[in-house]
């Protein structure tokens, strides 16, 4: 079976689709001792020998973890300031990476994996992956702003909105929102655009997988069949 080299590398758990494409364009990837710089190059997964920086690449068993990220942990594979990272919370000898990111003091559902294709699927805007957040505001929410946030306000020069918004408490400080956006600090900036300050942010769920029931700092191992079903549900 032949597949594109960038897809093959991401499926081998080398990194996200973007990262492995950087490796290819930098000339670090070889197929049968010949350098590859075209992303569309095909590799025969049964016959070809693929290397990165001279090291042979072998397909890996895909792993999927759903972490309840706690406060004070960095969403990265390593940190130059030696702070605790989300990788430190997962007990595995395999090389994994977080899918997307949550800010240092943001909590909630975060996937970690060695499957680059899954990472690409979950983060690509065209797939409209739904994420639900619980937002705590420093001041009461004005119901007059609900329609603005649902129908759209201008952010980064374009119309931006939440798919759903609910007030969660009587003081109007706690809000639940759903969004398919993946832009950095999107939730905080949306509320900030209307003069609110987000003091706490928790991602309750992503793509239907929830952090509810998982203690902060703990994780679930997700069945690959569930991930496969998620990625191919539109094919049915």
Q: Are 125 and 183 in contact (CB under 8 A)?
A: no
Domain count, the chain: 3
Q: Which of 39, 56, 73 is the last residue of a domain?
A: 56
pLDDT of 236 over the 70 cut: no
Assess whether 44 and 147 both reside in one domain: no
Q: Identify the pLDDT of residue 95.
A: 87
**Whole-prediction pTM:** 0.78
- Average pLDDT for 167-187: 97
The CATH number assigned to the domain holding 215 equals 3.30.70.580
| Strand runs labelled E in 101-207 | 107-113, 131-137, 153-155, 158-160, 164-167, 174-179, 198-206
Assess whether 217 and 198 both reside in one domain: no
Assess whether 41 and 90 both reside in one domain: no
* 130 vs 47: CA distance, rounded Å: 39
Assess whether 85 and 50 both reside in one domain: no
Read off the pLDDT band of 16 (50, 70, 90).
confident
pLDDT 10s digits, 83-125: 999 999 999 988 899 999 999 999 999 999 998 889 999 999 9
The CATH number assigned to the domain holding 51 equals 3.10.290.10
* 184 vs 19: CA distance, rounded Å: 19
Assess whether 149 and 178 both reside in one domain: yes
pLDDT 10s digits, 132-152: 999 999 999 999 999 999 999
Q: Would you state the torsion angle of the CA atoms of residues 118, 12, 108, 122, taken in this order, to the nearest 10 degrees? A: -20
Q: Identify the pLDDT of residue 46.
A: 79
Assess whether 73 and 121 both reside in one domain: yes
Q: Identify the pLDDT of residue 234.
A: 60
Q: Which of 78, 103, 142, 145 is catalytic?
A: 103
Assess whether 76 and 108 both reside in one domain: yes
Q: Which domain holds residue 25?
A: 2-56
Specify the higher pLDDT residue, 27 or 14.
27
Arithmetic mean of pLDDT over the chain = 93
Give the residue among 211, 158, 202 at the shortest CA–CA distance from 176.
202
* Tokens, residue 155: 């952010």
pLDDT 10s digits, 25-81: 999 999 999 999 999 899 998 789 999 999 998 777 889 999 999 999 999 998 999
Q: Annotated catalytic, 103? A: yes
Buried b (16+ CB within 10 A) or exposed e, 152-171: eeebeeeebbbeebeeeeee
């Amino acid at each position: 079976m032949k597949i594109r080299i960038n897809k093959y590398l991401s499926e081998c758990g080398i990194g996200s689709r973007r990262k492995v494409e950087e490796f290819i364009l930098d000339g670090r990837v070889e197929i049968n001792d010949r350098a590859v710089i075209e992303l569309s190059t095909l590799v025969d997964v049964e016959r070809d020998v693929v290397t990165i920086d001279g090291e042979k690449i072998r397909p890996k068993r895909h792993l999927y973890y759903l972490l309840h990220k706690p406060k004070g942990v960095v969403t990265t594979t390593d940190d130059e300031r030696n702070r605790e990272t989300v990788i430190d919370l997962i007990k595995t000898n395999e090389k994994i990476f977080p899918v997307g990111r949550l800010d240092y003091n943001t909590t909630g559902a975060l996937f970690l994996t060695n499957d680059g294709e899954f990472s690409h699927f979950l983060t690509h805007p065209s797939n409209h992956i739904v994420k639900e957040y619980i937002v705590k505001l420093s001041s009461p929410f004005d119901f007059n702003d609900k329609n603005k946030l649902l129908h759209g306000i201008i952010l980064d020069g374009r119309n931006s909105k939440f798919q759903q918004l609910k007030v969660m408490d009587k003081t109007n400080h706690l809000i639940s929102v759903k969004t398919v956006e993946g832009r950095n600090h999107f939730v905080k900036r949306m509320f900030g655009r209307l003069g609110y300050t987000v003091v706490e942010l928790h991602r309750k769920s992503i793509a239907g997988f929830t952090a509810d029931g998982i203690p902060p700092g703990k994780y679930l191992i997700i069945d690959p069949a569930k991930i496969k079903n998620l990625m191919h549900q539109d094919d049915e």
